[in-house]
Structure 1
Amino acid sequence: MLTAMLAAFAGGIILNFMPCVFPIISLKALGLIRHTQSAAQTRKEGLGFLLGTLVTMMLLAGILLALRAGGSAVGWGFQLQSPLVIAFLALIILSAALNLLGVFEVGLSLQRAGEISLERGAFARAALTGALAIIVATPCAAPFMAGAIGYALVQPPAVALVIFFSLALGFAAPFSLLSLFPALGNWLPRPGAWMNTLKRGLAFPMFAAFGWLVWVLAQQAGTAALAAIIAASVVLSFAAWLYGMAQRRRLAGQSHKVLHLATAVLVLAAIAPLPGVVTRGEALPDENVAQVKWTPQTLADNRGHGKAIFVNFTASWCITCQVNERTSLSTQAVKAALAKTQTLYMVADSTKFNADIDDALNELGQGSLPLYVVYPADGSAPKILPQVLTPSIVINALAQASSKKT
């Protein structure tokens, strides 16, 4: 258990540097530079981020364990298997980007309109940033994490929650340490007018995250859901602009209630149709005909019959999976190795919930994606590859597996 806790803590720290967390780095970076001369205020923001991270992780872990106790074979990142969750998360990310661009403000100072408020609402902002960071981070698994999560998912709930708590603690550690011990952040530049420019520039990683989530939604639920989220995004953006106008009119002492009402109506109009649209779409078909769809039966039928099998457990919402696909699995060298060794290439797509895939992850002792498993040609024990691939890792594994023939 102690080993799993340490692995989860280390994995949480490394998770800050994984591709999944890059989209949220703008909010974390803005939090780092929102320090003041007041050590107490800085610590308050650090505690807010830590609390938001821990509470959100415990909620997600609690829901995950409850679902599994009820018989659902769900795993790490389970919430991103729901098109509806993806749609709402995309709109939240879009709103955050518009806020960073200054379309509307959060915690706007009543005395000096347009200036970034460092004091007001800092704790709530930091807590929400921590919560959003954890939700966005779940599609990825950093080194050390897979084993720790796999261990947690087969333990009693109390033990599992301790493992997930360690993971959240590691994830929050870098930002929280800088905030709770202000002396560590003395190398950061002092707050000033330049922050307004930086704040707006940091909106663009958020737009990139929004684009990724829209793409994932299209993979999960098809073109009807894609059209719905695009329409909702336009309406929500217009509502954000009206809300910003209402804020400026309020600060100028002018009437603003009608604009607030229009904003509320538009937000409702943007999100109300989504549940009915995104949940009835079908995933777009896979265009790669060289792949064999993984099922437990297909694997059992082909295992140990003279051909090695490479199984790619993946999902559209798993950014590390997509990076490995581009940098390793889709390269000519790996394709040539697959052909030369006559390896059967199977894809287990967990973009939408698949209980068989989650059962397989559990059987292999892994709790998260990506997962790459090579089954030798002679039917001997499978080999699990690292979560971050290189072409040479895959080629060597295929050569070894295909040479083990009965």
Structure 2
Amino acid sequence: MLTAMLAAFLGGIILNFMPCVFPVVSLKAFGLLRHDGDTASARSEGLAFLLGVVVTMMALAAVLLAARAGGNAVGWGFQLQSPLVISILALVILGAALNMLGVFEVGLSLQRAGELSIGRGAFGRSALTGALAIIVATPCSAPFMAGAIGYALVQPPAVALAIFFALALGFAAPFTLISLFPALARRLPRPGAWMSVLKKGLAFPMFGAYAWLVWVLAQQAGMTALATLLAGSVIVSFAGWIYGMAQQRQLAGRGYRVMYSVTAVLLLLVLVPLPGVMKPAANADIAQNAQQAAPIKWTPQTVAEQRGHGKAIFVNFTASWCITCQVNDKTSLSTQAVKEAMAKTGTLYMVADSTKFNADVDDALSQFGQGGLPLYVVYPADGSAPTVLPQVLTPTIVVNALNQAAGKKA
């Protein structure tokens, strides 16, 4: 248990540097830069970020464990198998990006609207940033994490929650430590006019995260859901613009209440139709790797039928929402070296897609002791025990595994 907790803590620290989390944690990094000399405010925001991370992680873990106890085979990142969650998260991140660009302000007093001061509501804003960071982090699986989560999911609830708590602490540790210890904070750049440029620049990683979520939704729910989300995004952007103007009118002492009402109505027009539209499409695209034109669709039965018949089997457990999976696909599985190794060894290439909920995939993850994606399994040609590859691949790792599974020398 202690080993799993340590692995979870280290995995949480590394998770800060994974591509799916960076757009959100950059917001917290920007927040720390504002606290030059204000130790109390920095500590308050650091503790708020920690609270948001821990509470959200514990809530997600509790739902995950309850779902598994009820017989549902779900794993890390399970909520991103829901098109409704994806669409709402995309709209939230779009709103955050517009806020960074200064279209409207959140958490600032009207007397300081548009400035870079801390303002009122900083504690709640930091807690919400921590919560959003954890939700966005679930498509990623950092080194040390998979084994720790896989172990947690087969333990009693108290042990599992302790491991998820360690993961949350690791994730929040870098920012919290900097905020609690002024000596560390003094090493950060001093605030200045350059921060206004930085604030707007950080909006674009958020737009990138929004674009990724839109793409994931198209894979999950098809063109109707995509069109609904894009139309909703336009309305949300328009609502944000009106809200920003209302803030400025209120600051100038002019009429603004109607504009706030219009903003609320526009947001309701976006949110009300979502539950009826955002549902998994029966014909949604299956995530495929460019490595082969027509990979074999994975099922447990297919693997059982093909094992031990003189051909190695490579199974790619993936999903559109898994950023690490997509990076591995581009940097390793789609390379010419891996393509040639697949051909020379005659390896059967299978894709186990979990973009939408797939109970068989989640059962397989549990069987291999993995709490989440990605998972790469190589079955030797002679039918012996399979090998689980690291979650971060290189072409050399894959080629050597294929040659070994086929009984060939590298």
TM-score range, shorter chain: over 0.9
- In 1, the alpha carbon distance for the partners of 2:280 and 2:129 equals 31
**RMSD (Å) for aligned C-alpha atoms:** 1.4
Q: Which residue of 2 aligns with 1:83?
A: 83
Q: Could you tell me how far 1:280 is from its partner in structure 2?
A: 5.2
Structure 1 residues 28 and 108, CA, compared in 2 at 3 Å: closer, same or farther?
Answer: closer
User: Deviation digits for residues 276-316 of structure 1, max 9, x if unmatched?
Assistant: 11215341256764200000100110011110000000000
Other structure's SS at 1:310 match: strand
Q: Could you tell me how far 1:270 is from its partner in structure 2?
A: 1.2
Which of 306, 314, 324 pairs up with 1:302? 306
Q: Which residue of 2 aligns with 1:264?
A: 264
Q: Does 1:175 align with 2:179?
A: no
CA contact (8 A) 2:110 2:247 kept: no
Which of 313, 318, 322 pairs up with 1:318? 322
Q: Which runs of 5+ in 1 are unaligned?
A: none
Aligned length: 405
CA contact (8 A) 2:287 2:319 kept: no
Q: Which runs of 5+ in 2 are unaligned?
A: none
Q: Which residue of 2 aligns with 1:139?
A: 139
Identical residues among aligned pairs (%): 75
Q: Which residue of 2 aligns with 1:377?
A: 381
Structure 1 residues 113 and 365, CA, compared in 2 at 3 Å: closer, same or farther?
Answer: closer
Q: TM-score with structure 2 length normalisation?
A: 0.96
Q: Could you tell me how far 1:9 is from its partner in structure 2?
A: 0.4
CA contact (8 A) 1:57 1:168 kept: yes
Q: Does 1:41 align with 2:41?
A: yes
Q: Which residue of 1 aligns with 2:285?
A: 284
Q: Which residue of 2 aligns with 1:327?
A: 331
Structure 1 ranges of 4+ moved more than 3 A: 285-289
User: Deviation digits for residues 155-198 of structure 1, max 9, x if unmatched?
Assistant: 00000000000000000000100011122011212223322221
Structure 1 residues 39 and 286, CA, compared in 2 at 3 Å: closer, same or farther?
Answer: closer
Q: Does 1:94 align with 2:98?
A: no
Q: In structure 1, what residue type is equivalent to 2:133? A: A
- In 1, the alpha carbon distance for the partners of 2:92 and 2:118 equals 22
Structure 1 residues 306 and 141, CA, compared in 2 at 3 Å: closer, same or farther?
Answer: same
Q: Could you tell me how far 1:28 is from its partner in structure 2?
A: 2.2
- In 2, the alpha carbon distance for the partners of 1:113 and 1:401 equals 62
Q: Could you tell me how far 1:26 is from its partner in structure 2?
A: 2.7
Q: Which residue of 1 aligns with 2:215?
A: 215
Q: Which residue of 1 aligns with 2:8?
A: 8
Q: 1:7-406 alignment to 2 at 5 Å?
A: 7-279=7-279, 281-282=281-282, 283-285=284-286, 289-403=293-407
Other structure's SS at 2:21 match: helix
User: Deviation digits for residues 42-68 of structure 1, max 9, x if unmatched?
Assistant: 100000000000000000000000000
Q: In structure 2, what residue type is equivalent to 1:319? A: I
- In 2, the alpha carbon distance for the partners of 1:280 and 1:148 equals 30
- In 2, the alpha carbon distance for the partners of 1:304 and 1:156 equals 36
- In 2, the alpha carbon distance for the partners of 1:216 and 1:23 equals 17
Structure 1 residues 68 and 33, CA, compared in 2 at 3 Å: closer, same or farther?
Answer: same
- In 1, the alpha carbon distance for the partners of 2:142 and 2:81 equals 19
User: Deviation digits for residues 115-136 of structure 1, max 9, x if unmatched?
Assistant: 1231421111111111111110
